[in-house]
Every structure is written in structure tokens, then in C-alpha cells.
Amino acid sequence: MTDLVFADELPAPDSDEAAPKPLEPWVVMIVDDDVAVHQVTQLVMADFEFSGRRLQFLDAYSGIEARELLKSRNDVALILLDVVMESEHAGLDVARYIRDELKNNHVRIVLRTGQPGQAPEEHVIKTYDINDYKEKTELTKRKLITVFYAALRSYRDIMIIEQSRQALRRSIDAITRVYDSQNLRRFASAVLEQVTHLLGMDARALCASRVSAYAASNCEGHLKVLAATADYSRLLVDDEICNLPPEVKTALDRALIDQTGYFDAHHFIGYYRSSTDNETLLYMQFSDPVDAQARELLEIFCANVAITYESLLLREEIQETQRSTVFILGEAVERRSKETGAHVRRVGELSALLAETSGMRASDVEFMRQAAPLHDVGKIGIPDRVLNKPGKLDAEEWEVMQTHARIGFELLSKSDKRILQLGAIIAHEHHERWDGAGYPRGLIGDQINIAGRIVALADVLDALVSGRCYKEAWEFDAALGYITEQSGKQFDPGLVQQLFDNLDAVHEIYRRYPDA
């Protein structure tokens, strides 16, 4: 990743840009039944400021009122808590309520009492989780200021640690989600969603990439938008850079030309060039200024994103090569038997449809889509005189034809790759029958692997509606009639029902993959 250019290296912002928002004040709660204590404390501390932040006071005049306020507030930094109010131990009950019931360990509690005998200091400090104990008579202006500095400094440091812990958790969660993405578009969407979540800020963002010729077989050299937040929803996936808003296009063009990323108060433009010369751009516009800590987290996160992007790109290329190889192999076998190559694709899609409606996981559905086209790979070992005989096979020829199930299994089972292992099962069992009258092993019912049962149905349906050297193509309704007749005999009746429940999707498969 290249170095980033920071705000002081960029042109000055427009003069009409909104002034920075003032920092939020420290919230201090005074819990005391004496109105004068509230008034004097606020008067004495009226001009107090710490870390550029003023004070905001909340008033509670009883322990009960304090509890009600604290139920809806988690931003209180300091509580000045009287001991004796509606009862002799009302303040102590509030302290225990804060720590034990609200589970608030961040707020600093300073116990103030005008009757120290009612709550001895040693006992209170030992028994209750408070941070300081003061008698009201000793709280002069100077000592009160000291108490405020000590308490707010402690609260600030605790919250920095807490925010860092939360940021770390969000970072880990964000990166985990990115690594779980199954393809580049889901990956890009995860980047945008998780980066904004990571920073806890509203942002308008988009992610774009330009793929090198080395890494992909198409679209090289063109910058494509992979994902966009709702503010840029008008940009379609795969929209080109020429259709981007002018200010976004200008920022991305500059990053591409300079081959570096940029920061300013409200923008982040990340530029990443991988080892295979793929370029990734991340444009983010924030409603609030991005501080140094957020920039650092963003840079670390995006560095991981760039590495993951390259890995996913390579993985997707490998998967696409694998899919293409499987289809080429399946089509080669089908062409040898003078059948259309679209058959293997349709069987793959029909099998994936039935796998999905059977409740298989998305990854298993994809494996079915890729493995099903290998169902007849064993036909490579069948002589042409049998494979392409125009008429009905005699008993000897039929016995030879049946060996293609075993041949396919033996070819594919030699590999330890999951797709080929699944292909071996399918090749071996897609001619078994639900009633046990199939081949090669005469398996019955659930003894047949679900993958074999699925492909058995998909293969027969497509074989019936497709022309073969030994028969004419059937009408679709006639093929469905045969499937109905053979439900519970040749086919798993549950799968047959799923097929009929999803006929619209079946017809869509035939629309997308017609015979040439």
C-alpha cells in the first residue's frame, strides 16, 4: 500500500465549509436533597473546562430521582452523591444500584456527606465501589476543582480504553465478515458496511476496482464500481467510472494518476495496488471530521481489505477455471455421444435447484451445480458402437452401457477434491432407482445418496425433453407425466414434489440454456 497524503498537503478547503462542531460537554450529576448544594456547586464550577470540554449538570434531589435519571443516561462522567437523603443510606443504595444493577463501571462516583458518622469512610470505601469520599465541609473551590480534574481524567482514560476495546472488537468482526464473503461483490459490500460500522460514523462510500490483464480474462483496464452505499444507490453494480458524480470521479482520477490515497477532514480516498497490479479504490465522505485514531483504524482495515481482495480475486478466477473445466469435460463426453452440450449445464442447474429446495447449504448447492455435469463422464469408456447405436441396445450392449457408472466412479474417486468426490458419487448412483431396481448396485430409497437421487431426476427430465440419436424429444408436459408416473418407483417422491412446486424456475433454466 502506498503512503497517504494528509490534509495539510491538500488544497485549502472552501471558505464556506461548515465550522467544526464544539466538543460535547462532560455530564456531571449532582445528587443531593439540599438545593443550595446544587446551586453552589454549579456556581463554583461554571467556568471549569477540561480537555476543551465544558460541564453539563444534571440535578437529582433524591436517590429515587437519581435512579430514574440514570436508567436513561449512559453518558454521565461524574456523580457527586450525597449519603443521607430520603433515608440514612439512600446514597449508598444508589452507588450499589449503579454498579450492580446498571453494570456501569465507567462513571466516577464521589461520595459527599455532611454527616460522616452515618457512613464511616473506611467502611464505605471498603464496601462500596466508589472513587472518592469527601465531607462537605472540606470541599472548598480549590478542592472541588481538584476532585473534578481527577475524576474526569480517570473517566476519560477509562473511556479511551473502552472505545479502543470496542473498536478492536468491531475490527475483528469486520475483517471476519469480509473473509466470509463468497465473491467479489459481496466482499465489496462488506467493506462499505463494516468500515462505516468500524468507525461508528455515518459515511457515503463506494468501492471500485480496475483489474489487470494478468489477473482476469475480461474487463481488464476498466474501473468498475463494485458496491455503493444508499447515497450512491443510483450507481448500478458494474457501473463504469464515467457515470460517477463529478466530485467522486475527480477524486478517484487523482488517486489513479498519483497512485496514492488522500485524507482531508471529511474525506478518505484509499488507493491500493496489489502484487498483480490490480488497483482498488475506496471513496468515503464523512459527515463529521475524521480524527487521527479513526484514520489509523481505517488505514489498517483497508490494508487488510486490499490483501483480501487480491486473494478473493485469485480464488474466484480459480473457481471459474474449475467450473469451466468441468463443463468442458462434461460437454466433451456429451458430444462424443452426439448429444447437446447444453444438457450438462441444464442438469447442473436443475440439480442445484433441487438441492436448494431440499434445504442444502448454499455452499453445497454450488458443489451440486459443479459436480452434476460429471454424471456421465464414465461414457468416455463406452465404445462408439454402443454409445451411438441409433436403435435399442441388445442385452450384451446394455450390460456394456451400464458399466459407465462404475467407470465414472473409478475415474473421479481417485481425486481428493470435494467436487470430484461428489461427482464420483453422482456418477455411481444416478442410475439407481428409488424402488431398488436400478444399477449398478440395486440401492433402494434412502440408501441412495441425496446427490444421486437429485441428478437421477434432473438427468431423466432433461433426457426426455431433448432429442437423442435413438429417440425424438418429448413434449414438456409428457415428460412431466412420466415423472409423475415414476414417483416412488424410479424417483424420490419428495424430490418429484419439489420439482413440481418450482416449475417456474425449471422453465427459466430451459429459457437460459436452450439447445444450440
Which residues are known to be catalytic?
A: 379
Distance of CA 493 to the CA centre of its chain: 37
3-state secondary structure of 211: coil
Do residues 491 and 483 lie in contact, with contact meaning Cβ atoms separated by under 8 Å? yes
Instruction: Please name the helix (run of DSSP H) or strand (run of DSSP E) that holds residue 26, with its range, or none.
Output: strand 26-31
Do residues 388 and 354 lie in contact, with contact meaning Cβ atoms separated by under 8 Å? no
Do residues 483 and 499 lie in contact, with contact meaning Cβ atoms separated by under 8 Å? yes
User: For residue 162, how many other CB atoms are within 10 A of its CB?
Assistant: 12
Residue with cell 455530564: 27
Reading the block at residue 483, the C-alpha cell is 415423472
The Cα–Cα gap between 39 and 53 comes to 21
Do residues 93 and 81 lie in contact, with contact meaning Cβ atoms separated by under 8 Å? no
Q: Phi/psi at 228 (nearest 5 deg)? A: -150, 150
User: For residue 27, how many other CB atoms are within 10 A of its CB?
Assistant: 18
User: Which one, of 49, 48, 87, 51, lies nearest residue 66 by Cα?
Assistant: 87
Reading the block at residue 98, the C-alpha cell is 449503579
Distance of CA 36 to the CA centre of its chain: 55
Query: How is residue 101 annotated by DSSP?
Result: I
* Pairing status of strand 108-113 against strand 132-135: parallel
First to last CA, the chain: 48
Do residues 58 and 88 lie in contact, with contact meaning Cβ atoms separated by under 8 Å? no
Q: String of b and e for 484-503 (b: at least 16 CB within 10 Å)?
A: eebbeebbbebbbebbeebe
